[in-house]
């Protein structure tokens, strides 16, 4: 394999790795959202990824998570000897870019402004993703005639396979929640415990509202991104 072919292979692998990085609020890959402006790899294996977001004032904690996750994803790619993730056109880009490059964490990157790391924020958005995913999996079942009692009796292994179910399993696993075939379909994302029978209708309503909210935010962000970067929307 020529050097050019080898480099092209690493670039493809880096782009594939970036598909695993999600906007924490929207729970969509940054590649699908169009946030990856470019991805290059030098002959020496140095990767450079440029990211851009819908607005100049996107929340710095969300932005930091995406840049840090992109760094982790790309540096894990075989053939990549180092990575530089550059967030462009953002008011906190200097602090975020230098902080991620130094592996300084959020607090040290924003000294005097941030008081805690972002693990709790990440978990909060993952719990929302679990709720939204629950609605996406349950809606077709309800449309097919499943009752709350039917849903309560289902496990992940007895639900018909679908991309939505796979995604729900992944989000639950990310949180350390039961995600195997024997795990109940309906669980409390805070505790991982099965939902009480009395709470099923309320749980389903919360799941629907959460899913609707995420979809509304995605629509708003996509509109702002198209206005800001008319040639950059890829979804």
pLDDT at 211: 98
Q: Give the helix ranges, DSSP H, for 144-199.
A: 148-153, 163-174
CA distance 192 to 31: 30
Residue pair 200/146 in contact (Cβ under 8 Å)? The answer is no
User: Distance (Å, rounded) from C-alpha 168 to C-alpha 223?
Assistant: 26
The pLDDT value given to residue 233: 44
Burial, 142: exposed, middle or buried (Cβ in 10 Å; 0-12, 13-18, 19+)?
Answer: middle
For position 231, what pLDDT does the model report? 79
Torsion angle, CA of 136/141/143/147, rounded to 10 degrees? -120
Contacts of 139 (CB under 8 A, 6+ apart): 208
Pair type for strands 46-51 and 82-87: parallel
**First and final C-alpha spacing in the chain:** 33
The CATH 3.30.300.130 domain(s) of the chain lie at 3-117
- The model's pTM is 0.92
Burial of 53 (0-12, 13-18, 19+ CB in 10 A): buried
Pairing mode, if any, of strands 46-51 and 36-41?
antiparallel
Tokens, residue 161: 């396979």
Condensed to tens digits (0 to 9), the pLDDT of residues 178-205 reads 999 999 999 999 999 999 999 999 999 9
pLDDT of residue 7: 77
* Ranges of residues in the chain whose predicted pLDDT is under 70: 1-6, 232-235
As a whole number of angstroms, the distance between CA 69 and CA 204 comes to: 31
pLDDT of residue 5: 53
**Structural element, H or E, at residue 28:** strand 28-29
Superfamily of domain 3-117: Fe-S cluster assembly (FSCA) (3.30.300.130)
230 token code pair? 């008319």
């Amino acid at each position: 394999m020529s050097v050019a072919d080898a480099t092209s292979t690493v670039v493809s692998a880096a782009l594939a790795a970036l598909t695993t990085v999600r906007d924490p609020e929207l729970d969509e890959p940054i590649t699908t959202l169009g946030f990856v402006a470019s991805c290059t790899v030098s002959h020496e294996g140095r990767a450079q990824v440029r990211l851009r977001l819908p607005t100049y004032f996107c929340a710095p904690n969300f932005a930091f998570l995406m840049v840090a996750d992109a760094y982790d994803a790309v540096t894990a790619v075989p053939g990549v000897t180092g990575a530089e993730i550059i967030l462009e056109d953002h008011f906190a880009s200097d602090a975020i870019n230098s902080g991620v490059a130094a592996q300084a964490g959020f607090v040290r990157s924003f000294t005097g402004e941030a008081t805690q790391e972002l693990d709790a924020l990440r978990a909060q958005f993952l719990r929302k993703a679990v709720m939204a995913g629950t609605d996406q999996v349950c809606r077709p079942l309800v449309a097919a005639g499943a009752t709350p009692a039917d849903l309560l009796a289902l496990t992940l292994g007895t639900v018909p396979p679908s991309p939505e179910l796979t995604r729900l399993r992944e989000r639950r696993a990310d949180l350390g929640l039961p995600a195997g075939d024997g795990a109940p379909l309906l669980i409390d994302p805070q505790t991982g415990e099965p939902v009480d029978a009395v709470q099923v209708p309320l749980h389903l309503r919360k799941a629907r509202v959460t899913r609707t909210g995420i979809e509304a935010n995605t629509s708003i962000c996509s509109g702002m991104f198209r206005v800001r970067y008319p040639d950059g929307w890829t979804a």
